């Protein structure tokens, strides 16, 4: 039996979470607006019997000279983000209590859980490394868009699991897939920001004065690249385990470990792309921008696997709860 009251509460909390995240985006925008822009620091160095100026890299991306008003808006944004994450956790908790099962039995629940993991990962990173707070708008804006899309196009009413998902492997395979996807979500965004910031720093090093308040306030390129790499390193074994657990579940349910079903195929492609990224990240000639592009491609593959494979293609995994 479905507890309709709890199910309705879950739906209401979903809307509240979207509202809180939207307010967080506004607060992050205010932080950037009031943050000002300081010209890149330069130092005198000896060159050819004289002295020339060269830029001094800013690892914190302008965080050291952050005005008090901007800092307050940043704290408000972080508080709204944390509150939104708590409310979003309540969405899944009440949905699970309403249905008496794990709350990731369809695309609506799966997508909601992935976004929650991404937000939590961002919050942990921002608390551990305060400079990473400045990528908040670039994490929360996709989060809001994702939540709106999930609510509009992936929504499924609370109900029991379909027969194919009634297995103990749901708690193992799907849970680890959610964790891996959410971590890769943040890793991919960090790589996108690294690509933007590294180009900005290259222009500054060449003596140009790029007028970009937003990019100036991003963490340094090295910090963004390190964040993208470390999160991918953390997420890769989780995704590997999810693929292996899925193969074991497939053998139990369908009598074979692997059948090149579209979902299986694209999950494996994603694994290959992230393995290539981690290898390229430590290979001379591929470090920096080339490897970052591979990470961005990996995120694209993950999104494609979630949306296109579930919504367009047909296969043994076509039970996402969509009409």
Average pLDDT over residues 19-46: 74
Confidence at residue 310, expressed as pLDDT on a 0 to 100 scale: 75
Q: Are residues 207 and 137 in the same domain?
A: no
Q: Are residues 191 and 82 in the same domain?
A: no
* Model confidence at 37: pLDDT above 60: no
Confidence at residue 261, expressed as pLDDT on a 0 to 100 scale: 82
Q: Are residues 130 and 242 in the same domain?
A: no
Q: Are residues 182 and 313 in the same domain?
A: yes
Q: Are residues 32 and 156 in the same domain?
A: yes
Confidence at residue 194, expressed as pLDDT on a 0 to 100 scale: 95
How far apart are alpha carbons 287 and 307 in whole angstroms?
Answer: 30
* Model confidence at 38: pLDDT above 50: no
Structure-token match 């292996």, residue found: 244
Share of the chain above pLDDT 90, in %: 59
Return the higher-pLDDT residue of 187 and 314: 187
56: pLDDT confidence band, cut at 50, 70 and 90? Answer: very low
79: pLDDT confidence band, cut at 50, 70 and 90? Answer: very high
* Model confidence at 216: pLDDT above 90: no
Confidence at residue 54, expressed as pLDDT on a 0 to 100 scale: 52
Return the higher-pLDDT residue of 82 and 52: 82
Confidence at residue 317, expressed as pLDDT on a 0 to 100 scale: 58
How far apart are alpha carbons 24 and 82 in whole angstroms?
Answer: 9
* Model confidence at 41: pLDDT above 50: no
Say if 210 falls within a structural domain.
yes
Q: Are residues 297 and 221 in the same domain?
A: yes
How far apart are alpha carbons 30 and 44 in whole angstroms?
Answer: 35
Tally of structural domains, the chain:
2
Q: Are residues 21 and 111 in the same domain?
A: yes
Q: Are residues 268 and 299 in the same domain?
A: yes
Confidence at residue 278, expressed as pLDDT on a 0 to 100 scale: 94
Q: Are residues 32 and 179 in the same domain?
A: no
* Highest mean pLDDT pick, 50-54, 62-66, 159-163, 170-174: 170-174
* Model confidence at 62: pLDDT above 50: no
Q: Are residues 75 and 9 in the same domain?
A: yes
Say if 46 falls within a structural domain.
no
Confidence at residue 59, expressed as pLDDT on a 0 to 100 scale: 44
Q: Provide φ and ψ at 44, rounded to 5°.
A: -90, 130
207: pLDDT confidence band, cut at 50, 70 and 90? Answer: confident
How is residue 41 written in tokens? Answer: 């620091």
How far apart are alpha carbons 140 and 142 in whole angstroms?
Answer: 6
Of 161, 180, 197, which one is at a domain's C-terminal end?
161
Q: Are residues 192 and 136 in the same domain?
A: no
Of 98, 130, 161, which one is at a domain's C-terminal end?
161
Confidence at residue 169, expressed as pLDDT on a 0 to 100 scale: 83
Q: Are residues 75 and 180 in the same domain?
A: no
Say if 274 falls within a structural domain.
yes
Say if 54 falls within a structural domain.
no
Say if 52 falls within a structural domain.
no
Question: 116-174, pLDDT tens digit by residue?
Answer: 999 999 999 999 998 899 999 999 999 999 999 999 999 999 988 877 778 888 889 99
Average pLDDT over residues 94-120: 94
Say if 187 falls within a structural domain.
yes
Of 161, 196, 218, which one is at a domain's C-terminal end?
161
How is residue 308 written in tokens? Answer: 């296109």
CA dihedral 131, 121, 292, 277 (to 10 degrees): 140
Say if 310 falls within a structural domain.
yes
Confidence at residue 44, expressed as pLDDT on a 0 to 100 scale: 45
Tell me the residue range of the domain where 311 lies: 167-322
Say if 63 falls within a structural domain.
no
Question: 244-292, pLDDT tens digit by residue?
Answer: 998 888 888 677 777 778 888 899 999 999 999 999 988 877 888 999 9
């Amino acid at each position: 039996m479905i507890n309709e009251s709890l199910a309705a509460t879950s739906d209401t909390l979903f809307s509240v979470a979207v509202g809180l995240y939207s307010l967080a985006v506004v607060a992050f925008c205010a932080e950037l607006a009031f943050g000002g822009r300081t010209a890149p620091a330069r130092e005198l160095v000896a060159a050819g019997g004289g002295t020339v100026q060269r830029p001094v890299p800013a690892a914190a991306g302008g965080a050291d000279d952050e005005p008090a008003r901007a800092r307050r808006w940043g704290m408000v944004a972080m508080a709204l983000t944390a509150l939104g994450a708590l409310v979003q956790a309540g969405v899944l908790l009440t949905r699970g209590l309403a249905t008496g099962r794990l709350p990731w039995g369809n695309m609506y629940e799966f997508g909601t859980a992935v976004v929650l993991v991404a937000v939590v990962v961002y919050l942990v990173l921002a608390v551990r490394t305060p400079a990473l707070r400045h990528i908040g708008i670039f994490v929360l804006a996709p989060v809001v868009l994702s939540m709106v899309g999930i609510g509009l196009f992936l929504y499924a009413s609370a109900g029991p699991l379909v027969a194919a998902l009634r297995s103990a492997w749901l708690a193992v395979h799907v849970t680890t897939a959610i964790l891996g996807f959410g971590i890769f979500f943040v890793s991919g965004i960090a790589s996108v920001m690294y690509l933007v910031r590294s180009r900005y720093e290259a222009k500054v090093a060449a003596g140009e004065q790029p007028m970009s308040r937003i990019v100036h306030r991003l963490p340094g390129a090295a910090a963004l690249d390190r964040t993208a790499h470390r999160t991918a390193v953390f997420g890769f074994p989780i995704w590997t385990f999810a693929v292996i657990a899925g193969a074991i579940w497939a053998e139990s349910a369908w009598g074979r470990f692997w059948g090149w079903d579209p979902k299986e195929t694209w999950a494996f492609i994603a694994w290959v792309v992230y393995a290539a990224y981690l290898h390229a990240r430590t290979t001379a000639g591929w470090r920096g921008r080339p490897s970052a592009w591979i990470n961005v491609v990996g995120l694209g593959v993950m999104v494609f696997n979630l949306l296109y494979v579930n919504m367009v293609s047909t296969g043994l995994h076509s039970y996402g709860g969509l009409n």
